[in-house]
């Protein structure tokens, strides 16, 4: 996905990375803040981009599953 943004606009690619960094920082600071999507899987939507950062909370770590496009079929993020 990053390569797609770089090919179209280096500025958009930078903003995408900034949005992901912001999301990960917010998740790290308050992982229970964002909604449960399925089972233990939670999602923090990116502002200005059609992606969500999916993650799971474990007793000693928060594990980021991935950044997935909002129009992907739920099976994509449920398999992770």
Domain boundaries, the chain: 2-78
Query: What fold, for 2-78?
Result: YaeB-like fold (3.30.2310)
d(CA 70, CA 79): 15
pLDDT at 44: 97
Confidence category of residue 15, pLDDT binned at 50, 70, 90: very high
Confidence category of residue 78, pLDDT binned at 50, 70, 90: low
pLDDT tens digits for 40-67?
A: 999 999 989 999 999 999 999 999 998 8
Based on its alpha-carbon atoms, the radius of gyration of the chain, rounded to whole angstroms, reads 13
């Amino acid at each position: 996905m990053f390569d797609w943004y770089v090919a179209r606009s280096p500025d958009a690619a930078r903003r995408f990375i900034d949005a992901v960094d912001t999301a990960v920082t917010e998740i790290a600071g308050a992982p229970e803040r964002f909604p449960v999507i399925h089972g233990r899987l939670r999602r923090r939507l990116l502002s200005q981009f059609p992606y969500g950062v999916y993650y799971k909370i474990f007793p000693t770590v928060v594990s980021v599953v991935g950044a997935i496009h909002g129009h992907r079929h739920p099976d994509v993020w449920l398999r992770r």
